[in-house]
């Protein structure tokens, strides 16, 4: 009886992990936008997040490989895949998403992430990872789910109704509400690009895991490479050293919270869901 209960719990781990991830994502968008509206550069925000992630995960990986020195090393093919995955799936993804978060709102940014299943599904079909039988109930459900995801994101991007609750509160003004219609549409475009890059990262876990089965090692390389890529991109855009300063506990806390969501949760939850 105990073994059966354990097997049942194991079967729900992936779904429960993704539910927890959505709660963490909601907190990240609220804190992240609040820090950015206080004056923090979105690009600097990404660099610090990647830097702290690399610093914290490096000792864990070193200890893991010290205990098991015979683990698979990273070859040239694996390095190229991880570099590409870091560039598109992390650096471009985070910069686009944070910029879209700044121009739109926390609620819209969270709602736009519903595009991820649809984009991932389309990408998986294009590369042959997913098969669709339009004559089966399962295939029809996949197509309908994709249409609903895209339709909901379009409605969130184009339709702006009145504020229902706390219309005069500081939270609504600083973290929930958007700006002008032009900024809102541009923000939704950035969010769409970010979702596409995030879907690319998810799809790429299949070849990356095949070339580098050591997940900790590949994650360290992703963190490090994305840190370097983000720093180069940010330095080319932010020449003012004052933009790199962390001026409040909110900015520091948002970076640390984003670290918890993106590096200690996203990677493990997504890879756990993929088996």
Torsional sign, CA 7, 9, 13, 15: positive
- Reported as a single tens digit per residue, the pLDDT across 73-114 is 778 888 999 999 999 999 999 999 999 988 888 878 877 877
d(CA 108, CA 162): 14
Residues 6+ apart with CB under 8 A from 36: 42, 45, 98, 101, 102
Confidence band, pLDDT 50/70/90 cuts, at residue 182:
low
Q: What is the pLDDT of residue 173?
A: 47
Using CA atoms, how far apart are residues 197 and 8, in angstroms rounded to an integer?
33
Domains of the chain, by residue range, sit at 19-113+181-273
Task: Please report which helix (H) or strand (E) contains residue 183, including its range.
Answer: helix 181-211
Output the pTM of the full model. Answer: 0.77
Place of tokens 């073994």: 3
Of 199, 11, 166, nearest to 88 by C-alpha is 199
Span 247-256, average pLDDT? 82
Exposed/middle/buried for residue 12 (C-beta within 10 Å: 0-12, 13-18, 19+): exposed
């Amino acid at each position: 009886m105990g073994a059966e209960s354990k097997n049942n719990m194991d079967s729900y781990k992936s779904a429960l992990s993704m539910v927890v991830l959505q709660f963490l994502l909601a907190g990240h968008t609220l804190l992240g936008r609040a820090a950015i509206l206080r004056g923090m550069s979105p690009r600097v925000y990404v660099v610090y997040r990647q830097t702290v992630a690399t610093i914290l995960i490096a000792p864990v990986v070193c200890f893991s490989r010290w205990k098991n020195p015979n683990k698979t090393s990273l070859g040239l093919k694996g390095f190229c895949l991880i570099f590409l995955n870091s560039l598109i799936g992390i650096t471009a993804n985070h910069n686009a998403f944070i910029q879209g978060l700044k121009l739109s709102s926390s609620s819209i940014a969270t709602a736009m992430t519903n595009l991820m299943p649809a984009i991932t599904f389309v990408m998986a079909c294009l590369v042959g990872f997913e098969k669709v039988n339009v004559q089966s109930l399962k295939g029809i459900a996949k197509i309908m789910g994709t249409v609903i995801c895209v339709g909901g994101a379009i409605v969130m991007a184009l339709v702006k109704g009145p504020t229902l609750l706390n219309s005069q509160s500081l939270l609504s003004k600083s973290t929930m509400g958007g700006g002008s219609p032009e900024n809102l549409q541009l923000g939704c475009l950035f969010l769409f690009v970010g979702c596409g890059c995030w879907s690319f990262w998810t799809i790429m876990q299949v070849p990356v895991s095949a070339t580098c089965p050591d997940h900790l090692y590949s994650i360290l390389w992703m963190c490090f490479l994305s840190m370097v890529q983000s720093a180069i991109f940010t330095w080319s855009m932010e020449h003012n050293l004052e933009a790199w300063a962390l001026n409040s506990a909110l900015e520091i806390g948002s970076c640390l919270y984003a670290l918890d969501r993106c590096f200690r949760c996203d990677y493990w939850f997504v890879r756990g869901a993929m088996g």
